Chain A
Amino acid sequence: MSSMSALKNVHNLGKFGDHEDKKGDNLLKILEVKNFLIIQIVQFKNSSIAIEKINIDELKLNDIPLDVVFNENTRILWNGPKNWFLVSTKKDLIKDISLKFKDSDFAVTDLSHSRAVIEIEGNYTKEVLKKGSPFNFDSLKKNNSINSLYNNIAFTVDVLNDNPYKVRLFALRSFGESLYQSITDASLEFGYQSI
């Protein structure tokens, strides 16, 4: 069985929109990111396990809103109280997670195949996000994450860098193409390069 990426049918390489005479960070770069391990971790309300004692890929969970704990391979996004969204390039981390999070205290769900992931980088990234989302992106700093809406599509934003602004967007795989179309439509005004 061959696997197909979530945006295979819509992500066309090239330069689009008002891209002429734009270089470097002034030209938006949009790419689909594939092959992540994406895990949702939820601690049950009746669990008394101290999350600070759990170590995943040398990272400790914390319950601080908007906060992302990270290293070069793995990012753990705060998704709600006692609710985390782990994104990693280390596929074998799932074994470690399954061992450390017991069924009696945590619900661990592998979402790797049910999310579309889009990365946007460039000086106009915030403007593109502001066009479709009601969230105030000026308040969102590097290594923050939020859940919000983009043209009424639920999505998660993870800020990887703030100069130039670089974000990773996650949406349900079935809404991925719609989100991609919305993002690229909003980017035409600024010009973008699909990578």
Chain B
Amino acid sequence: MLYIKCPHCGMRSQNEFSYGGDASVKRPELGKEVSDQDWDNFVYNRKSLRGKHWELWQHVSGCRQWIKVERDTATHEIFKTLKANEEISL
């Protein structure tokens, strides 16, 4: 069983969480011209890397907050978790 440390509640089982996609994707700036390609990349295109990866998870059966999780997609090891409003330092 995978355990995720929720920054709000503490160590919890992965069963309580719901996966929410890539956390490194940034929305194109508001009010600026966006090419179809950039919008396509933001909405659909993902890299699906092997290795360390920042992901969004929601603690849906706990505090219901969205969090960021740094996880290795090959080993499932979790390195770090952040609150949703905290910046990822790459």
Contact = CB atoms under 8 A, between A and B. Distances in A.
Interface of A: 65-66, 79-81, 83, 134-136, 146-149, 152, 154
Interface in B43-87: 61-65
Contacts of A80: 8, 62-65
B9 A66 contact: yes
Interface of B: 1, 8-13, 15-16, 61-65
Majority-rule SS of B interface residues = loop
A156 to B, nearest CB: 10
25 contacts: A65-B9, A65-B10, A80-B63, A80-B65, A81-B8, A81-B63, A83-B64, A134-B1, A134-B12, A134-B13, A134-B15, A134-B16, A135-B13, A136-B11, A146-B62, A147-B16, A147-B62, A147-B64, A148-B12, A148-B16, A148-B61, A148-B62, A149-B15, A149-B61, A154-B61
A18 to B, nearest CB: 29
A65 B8 contact: yes
Contacts of B16: 134, 147-149
B40 to A, nearest CB: 31
A66 B16 CA distance: 16
Nearest to A153: B61
Contacts of B11: 136
